[in-house]
Structure 1
Amino acid sequence: MSTRALLVVDVQPTFCEGGELGVDGGHRVAEDVAAFAGAHRDRYGLVVTTQDWHIDPGEHFSDAPDFVDSWPVHGVAGSPNARLHPALADLAADVAVLKGQYDHGYSGFDGADAEGRRLVDVLREAGVDAVDVVGLAESHCVKHTALDAARLGFAARVLTDLTAPVSPELGEQARHEMAAAGVELAESGEAR
């Protein structure tokens, strides 16, 4: 029997409307992820959150960002906007992974938990072989997390209605890249 984890990627105010890198629909995604996780917690052997937690990410931050490789300051470690979105207050995640302290940290697999365990090790220690990826933003950190999961041998699925891209065009491109890499794309209502 498969053990599936829910990876809740970067559902932080910094990526929601009004945040430093807010995406349209970010607050809705936060509320929908919280409702989905609350209703379907029994489907998952493990629930993991990831957060951008930038201390000194180098050229990832820029005063003149190109929005490809460099970005405005966001997800600053310890800041209110770097904390989990208030909608996730009752999520009761099993593991919290912080990423991007000293690099871009696009993928949840770039980060580690409070004990210093990398995400891949956390999942393998729990016997996880499949992951559902949700969160923000679909075109960036969700995509990179899902691609890494597939590359590392996990059956990876993105629940497309529980994420939002930076732009529709980048979302379409991300879905194409993920599908080409073997990541399943499904709506949460279809997920079993």
Structure 2
Amino acid sequence: MNERTERAKALLIVDVQNDFVEGGSLAVTGGHDVAAAISRHLEEHGDAYAAVIASRDWHEAGSTNGGHFHAPGEEPDFATTWPVHCVSTGPGSDYAPGLDLSRVTHHVRKGVGQPAYSAFEGQTEDGATVASVLDEAGVTEVDVVGIATDYCVRATVLDARNAGLEVTLLPGLHAGVAEETSRAALEEMGAAGAVIG
């Protein structure tokens, strides 16, 4: 069995960014703790992954990004329209300081000028999709971590399942916006065949 076959698992780190942790424009309670916990996980288990892919929201300045940001003069509904966040020209789009990037093999940007939730909607700097990166690495199984459980993590897990991948949502390594929507998301991901740790 060659190394590629033995290391057919990847880690997907979803949107662990300044605007999604405490102090950010769309802060999620527990975000800083999740960043630190992911870093510890990578220190202990990083060698188990053929690829470590980190996604970021990467929205355009001075734009509603296809209606993802609320229109001027209107309030966001926090379902399909959101406050301004993760603008590519500002610090909110940066990775949270507690996230150790030394083991990340691929950086993915998503939501450039348009709504995007799943990491699978993004691309690397050289234009590769997450699906193509995983395929090239021979990956059949992914662990998913990040922010937020009820939005971008949920969308990433569901897309991974739709792509035929085995998926595990790692316990203690994700945080949600709200208890009710997070609980519903966990149920939906489990029903789709993901292992909810």
TM-score, normalized by length of structure 1?
A: 0.93
Question: Which is worse superposed, 19-28 or 56-65?
Answer: 56-65
**Structure 1 counterpart of 2:50:** 45
Match of 1:61 among 50, 59, 69: 69
Q: Deviations over 1:77-131 (max 9, x none)?
A: 1311101111124433100000000211100000000110111011101111110
Unaligned runs of 5+ in 2: 1-5
1:4 aligns to 2:9 (yes or no): yes
Quote the Cα distance in structure 2 between the aligned partners of 1:90 and 1:136: 16
Unaligned runs of 5+ in 1: 187-192
Shift of 1:160: 2.9
8 Å contact from structure 2 (residues 69, 83) kept in 1 = yes
8 Å contact from structure 2 (residues 42, 103) kept in 1 = no
Closer/same/farther in 2, CA of residues 126 and 169 from structure 1, 3 Å limit: same
Quote the Cα distance in structure 2 between the aligned partners of 1:162 and 1:136: 9
Q: When the two structures are aligned, how many residues end up with a matched partner?
A: 186
8 Å contact from structure 1 (residues 133, 158) kept in 2 = yes
8 Å contact from structure 1 (residues 5, 46) kept in 2 = yes
8 Å contact from structure 1 (residues 37, 91) kept in 2 = no
Quote the Cα distance in structure 2 between the aligned partners of 1:92 and 1:181: 29
Shift of 1:46: 0.7
Question: Which is worse superposed, 163-172 or 77-86?
Answer: 77-86
1:31 aligns to 2:36 (yes or no): yes
Aligned positions of 1:125-136 closer than 5 A:
125-136=136-147
8 Å contact from structure 2 (residues 28, 148) kept in 1 = yes
Shift of 1:157: 1.1
From the CA coordinates, give the structure whose radius of gyration is larger.
Answer: 2
Q: Deviations over 1:2-28 (max 9, x none)?
A: 610000000001001110100110110
Quote the Cα distance in structure 2 between the aligned partners of 1:142 and 1:123: 17
Question: Which is worse superposed, 79-88 or 65-74?
Answer: 79-88
8 Å contact from structure 1 (residues 16, 25) kept in 2 = yes
Quote the Cα distance in structure 2 between the aligned partners of 1:90 and 1:173: 30
**Structure 1 counterpart of 2:184:** 173
1:140 aligns to 2:145 (yes or no): no
**Structure 2 counterpart of 1:160:** 171
Quote the Cα distance in structure 2 between the aligned partners of 1:89 and 1:43: 16
